[in-house]
Amino acid sequence: MSLRHDAWRACPGHRFRRIKLLPTDVTVRLATLADVSEIADMSRALIETGLGWTWTRERVGRNIASPNTVTVVACDLERVVGFAIMYFGDDHAHLSLLAVRRSYQHTGIGRHLVRWLEESALVAGIATIRLELRAGNRAARRFYERLGFAEVGRIPDYYAGVETAVRMARDIRRAQSGPLPDVRSLLR
């Protein structure tokens, strides 16, 4: 069992909680294999548009099952409305995927999912979170900048050999002042 999963298991009963202050009846929880299809379909429609489909159901399923990856979903009463997949390395974590259904965008779900994972990463001893996004995705870039991420590099042809990636990072330890947070605080 990895340190990351231990961190979650340390707070049983706190994995299914209503998000505070969101205008919709949305809850956040760890993903299960039952969420694979919705996550993969959202990835294809919202993230990989025009690039082919690399985050297939099989790949999403492997990530959900991996002890080194945490996948979080936001759900309304009927379906998954947002998700994030983060890989946990030794010193840094990598935010592999993040998406929110269009009808739910700009309601704070994306921010909440990222902060949820950041709190988990801090507990797991992670110093830095990195991610890549398509250079043409200006909306996502502004979103990440709003959350404290900054560009640290560019990788030409990163996406299917046709689109540059912008690499962004955030030093979550530096951003965190004071004692380590209680990971449960975001779930209340």
Ligand X SMILES: CC(C)(COP(=O)(O)OP(=O)(O)OC[C@H]1O[C@@H](n2cnc3c(N)ncnc32)[C@H](O)[C@@H]1OP(=O)(O)O)[C@@H](O)C(=O)NCCC(=O)NCCS
Identified catalytic residue from 78, 132, 145, 163:
132
Q: Is 144 a catalytic residue?
A: yes
CA distances from 40 to 12, 28, 64, 76, 186 (A): 28, 18, 12, 18, 26
Q: How many CB atoms lie within 10 A of CB 179?
A: 6
Q: For tokens 């398509």, what's the residue?
A: 134
Binding ligand X (rule: CB under 6 A), the pick from 18, 79, 111, 188 is: 111
- Helix 138-146 to helix 109-123 angle (10° resolution) is 50
Q: Is 132 a catalytic residue?
A: yes
Query: Which of 116/143 has CB closer to ligand X?
Result: 143
Residue 137 burial (CB < 10 Å; 0-12/13-18/19+)?
Answer: middle
Where does this chain touch ligand X (CB under 6 A) — which range of 31-39, 99-107, 117-125, 173-181?
Answer: 99-107
Residue 98 interacts with ligand X (CB under 6 A)?
yes
Where does this chain touch ligand X (CB under 6 A) — which range of 14-22, 51-59, 101-109, 161-169?
Answer: 101-109
Cβ neighbors of 159 (< 8 A, separation 6 or more) are 51, 134, 165
Q: What is the dihedral of CA 99, 31, 146, 130, to 10 degrees?
A: -100
Residue 47 interacts with ligand X (CB under 6 A)?
yes
Per-residue contact flags (x/-) with ligand X for residues 122 to 161, judged by CB under 6 A = -----------x---x-xx-xx--x---------------
Residues that bind ligand X (CB under 6 A): 46-47, 97-100, 105-111, 133, 137, 139-140, 142-143, 146
Active-site positions?
A: 132, 144
